Chain A
Amino acid sequence: EVQLLESGGGLVQRGGSLRLSCAASGFTFDNYWMTWVRQAPGKGLEWVANIKQDGSEKFYVDSVKGRITISRDNARDSLYLQFNSLRVEDTAVYYCVRARRYCRSTTSCPEGLDYWGQGTLVSVAS
């Protein structure tokens, strides 16, 4: 059974730092891109960052570039999100998510976010 278990959320002061962790199990972790998605209270879903299987490629939404770092430890089947210079607008539930490729041809491989953790809440106080 695929499981993703986030930890590390909590209440932090504006400008502070925090690291989220995600422990993966039930699948071959280093076969998949991994993703963080967040959801502010009462708002929609927002993609935050992606990381390639070997960690060699990383992508971020513009609003977090330079402040957030995604990383992974394949030996520990773990995904991380390091926050620096937290802002009030970073307050959200953060989900650790597996990205799966659904290839229909050699040139078309759409991704879908097929397994989600339960989420961890990050609250940034002003």
Chain B
Amino acid sequence: DIQMTQSPSSLAASVGDRVTITCRASQNIGDYLNWYQQKPGKAPRLLIYAASGLQSGVPSRFSGSGSGTDFTLTISSLQPEDFVTYSCQQTYSVPWTFGQGTKVEIK
């Protein structure tokens, strides 16, 4: 199985900050990497598909990059509604696996 490791597990930031979350795959997954946002008590929402594609309706302050084993999600200017949890996922091979999640908290 492909292991997905996110870092950090949590971070504290302020409104307006630029934030980067990293996801590392245990083997080459090309660009088969997605990012999700999840608010408490709600279903996840797809933000970024295929490593860098911005899902329809997602604000442009979210961006993704990377290929192979190392990927990043960047939020260019944190907004109050962005202080939630983010998870990466690989769909290169089954079982599709998720990272453990990164919780973004208010500093």
Contacts and interface: CB of A to CB of B under 8 A. Distances in A.
A63 to B, nearest CB: 9
B83 interface: no
Contact of B31 (A35, A50, A62, A110): A110
A113 B95 contact: no
B97 A47 contact: yes
B95 A102 contact: no
Given A45-B87, A45-B89, A108-B31, A119 B99 contact: no
Contacts of A117: 43
A59 B101 contact: no
A95 interface: yes
Contacts of A82: none
Contact of A110 (B43, B87, B91, B98): B91
A54 interface: no
Interface string A86-126: 00000000010001101010001011111011110000000
Contacts of B44: 37, 45, 95, 113, 116
A66 interface: no
B21 to A, nearest CB: 14
A59 B44 CA distance: 21
Given A47-B97, A95-B43, A112-B50, 9 more contacts: A44-B87, A47-B98, A59-B95, A61-B95, A110-B30, A110-B32, A110-B34, A116-B44, A116-B45
